[in-house]
Amino acid sequence: MRAKSNGLYGGHGGGTRCTFDACVRLVTSKGLYCGHGGGARCKFDACVRQVASKGLCYLHGGSKPFKADGCEMRAKSNGLYGGHGGGTRCTFDACVRLVTSKGLYCGHGGGTRCKFEGCERHVLSKRICYLHGGSKRCKADGCEKWIASKGLCYLHGGSKPFKADGCEMRAKSNGLYGGHGGGTRCTFDACVRLVTSKGLYCGHGGGTRCKFEGCERHVLSKRICYLHGGSKRCKADGCEKWIASKGLCYLHGGSKPFKADGCEMRAKSNGLYGGHGGGTRCTFDACV
């Protein structure tokens, strides 16, 4: 790389750094990184995105259109959108995701980590992850869920409604919820589950694996699986079970109680334990 200042490339200490609190990115203009107010803004009315070219951001025409027929995404490189081959790929073994920084996808070490001690999650804003306050909350009164779009969570209108009659789930793609045909399917032979990554469902090789040597389980958090500490434990005193909801395991109130009189099992669906009618039944002839 060519030196920026002090005989050093920007990524190795050359250039001027952003004056925003604790930011180490290079200045765009006004002593600030583009994400902190530096650089020119899109001239489109009320748009605060950074200019890509022609005084416009990438969404308002400031980047090259994608050259594949029917695709409305903007080109990242080679006239292609990232999902169709544009951009740079992660150098981690067999990973096909786009680079965040350092030649790596954020899940493999690229990008900036949350400043909270011990947290390995990726920064969303303010140098903190979404769980520590780095994302905005839904503006609906009393709602603590994260915004999907329009200042609202998916339950309050921040995502597209599902177009199937009577379904209250939110659309994933094509106006459909994942369970009704939305989203992308696993490419493994005859698999109909939704893709996690690499065109595959997590059980067929998609997603990230636990960092413990020899472990093939899927990562839950901190790059480790649930058996190696990647999930939180029940907050009931002395309980080592995994959380179901509300910080509690299913035995301590983390799942819905069964509504049949005298039954102490936990509900699977419809307020019923599997042996009493909850859950989905086998479609094989006469199987219950």
Q: Who wins on pLDDT, 37 or 70? A: 37
Q: Residue 71 pLDDT > 70, yes or no?
A: no
Q: Residue 281 pLDDT > 70, yes or no?
A: no
Sign of CA dihedral 262, 264, 270, 274: negative
Gap between the Cα atoms of 68 and 77, Å rounded: 13
26: closest CA among 41, 15, 12, 40? Answer: 15
> Tokens 């209250």, residue?
168
- pLDDT mean over 48-71: 71
131-to-54, 115, 128, 222 alpha-carbon distances in Å: 37, 12, 8, 13
Task: Tell me the pTM.
Answer: 0.31
3-state secondary structure 222-277: CCECHHHCCCCECCCCCCCCECCECCECHHHCCCCECCCCCCCCECCECCECHHHC
Q: pLDDT per residue over 150-182, tens digit each?
A: 788 877 776 655 555 555 555 555 555 556 666
**How many helices (H) and strands (E) are present in the chain, helices listed first?**
0, 0
DSSP bridge partners of 5: 8
208: closest CA among 109, 135, 129? Answer: 109
Model confidence at 137, pLDDT cuts 50, 70, 90, reads confident
182: closest CA among 192, 190, 191? Answer: 192
Q: Residue 75 pLDDT > 60, yes or no?
A: no
